[in-house]
Amino acid sequence: MTSSSRRFALDVLAATLVALAAGCGRSDGSKEYAAARAAYEVRDLRKAEKLIGECVRLAPQNVDALVTAARIKMDLGSMAEARDITDRAKELAGGDADVRLLDAQLAYYQQEYDRAIETFSAIAGDAETDAGVRSQALSGVGVVEMSRNETDLARIAFLKAVRLDRRNPAAWYHLGHLYHRLGYNEAALEQFDIFVRLEETASRRVQDVQRSMIPKIKDEIARQAAERPGASSRDSAASAKALADAEAAWKKGQYKTAKGRYMEAFASDPLSYPAAIGVAKALEKTDATADGQKKTFEYYKSACMLRPSAISTFLKTGELAMKLGHYATAVEIYSRALAADPTNFMVVDGLIRALRKTGSEGSRIAASYQAYRDLITKKR
């Protein structure tokens, strides 16, 4: 992750930190503090820096002002100064949530990832801390794990964050980017849509998502569909007729006939989920050979790609992948299913089983998913 994207990554958390620092609460420096916050909110950083510096001079014990001053210094790239100010805030109120979050975020910006994870995790695990703050800390854990290319650990952190506070925009936003990185475009689109609905103001980030990310993902989804073999010559009418014939034969128990009609329907329209799943089920009924199982599996995979929300189809496909010994493929299938339904126990259990079959690294990740599985089993 580049330095610029690293700074961009925790903007939503930064907004939370500023919101937590709600005001000076003193007569000395209060005017400067209010003006500094106003300048900061419109990203006039130099003006904000000057004003907050005056506030800190007038009220050197004001923790809110110190937190804001450190945030401004970080955004200006003055990390050493930000660290000095943060340490002063820690001396005065090291146990305060906004100070702890600030300290963790600064560690992240300075690429001290282990310390950032440790600090964010300590906040997230503190049962006495407000659930919203703990959720923000888990979002921080997820961002750091993404920077370390620990995609699964990042996803688990974001899912935990959402469980604690479904109105945490940072968790939805970063989960959207994570799924886009993985190529789970439909899931990414859903996360970004939720993020936009949760944000109350048309911030720079919201505008970027609305004007850039969402249109980009929709274009990618459309392009992927258009690039499927045979998509350019789809004959929906012919496919619908063959589907009707297939379903009629299926109801009569004429599975071989149904298989042929389903295959015709899929050949006419390779974007038809009913045709793909129909072929898969008909093959499963009519061909138990090793070759037949492989063909069945391929059609089930096609059905999964055509309808990413079809959890029962993903579960069946994952089961077949495990039976055929395609453990890495099973991991991917269950992983995509989890993006569509993050609290489905059968999906999480399938992912854990598949990961454990892939070796020591998979077992390490499986342990984290098992902890997540245990969490979602508990009542809130």
Q: What is the pLDDT of residues 108-154, one digit of tens each?
A: 999 999 999 999 999 999 999 999 999 999 999 999 999 999 999 99
Q: What percent of the chain has pLDDT over 70?
A: 92
Angstrom CA distances, 305 to 230, 272, 273, 317, stand at 15, 11, 9, 11
What pTM does this model have? 0.88
Architecture of domain 233-377 in CATH? Answer: Alpha Horseshoe (1.25)
C-alpha to C-alpha distance for 294 and 275, rounded to whole angstroms = 18
Average pLDDT of the chain is: 92
| Right CATH for 1-111 from 3.40.50.2300, 1.10.3720.10, 1.25.40.10, 1.10.260.40 | 1.25.40.10
Residue range 168-189: average pLDDT?
97
269-309 pLDDT per residue, tens: 999 999 999 999 999 999 999 999 999 999 999 999 999 99
Assess contact for 373 and 365: CB atoms under 8 A.
no
- The percentage of residues in the chain with a pLDDT greater than 90, rounded to a whole number, is 87
pLDDT of residue 13: 54
For residue 52, the tally of other CB atoms under 10 A from its CB is 28
Residues 276, 273: Cα–Cα separation, whole Å? 5
Q: Are 147 and 359 in contact (CB under 8 A)?
A: no
pLDDT, position 380: 53
pLDDT at residue 10 in the model = 56
Is the pLDDT at 22 greater than 50? The verdict is: no
1-111 and 233-377 have identical folds: yes
Place of tokens 């600030």: 102
Domain residue ranges of the chain, discontinuous segments joined by +:
1-111, 233-377
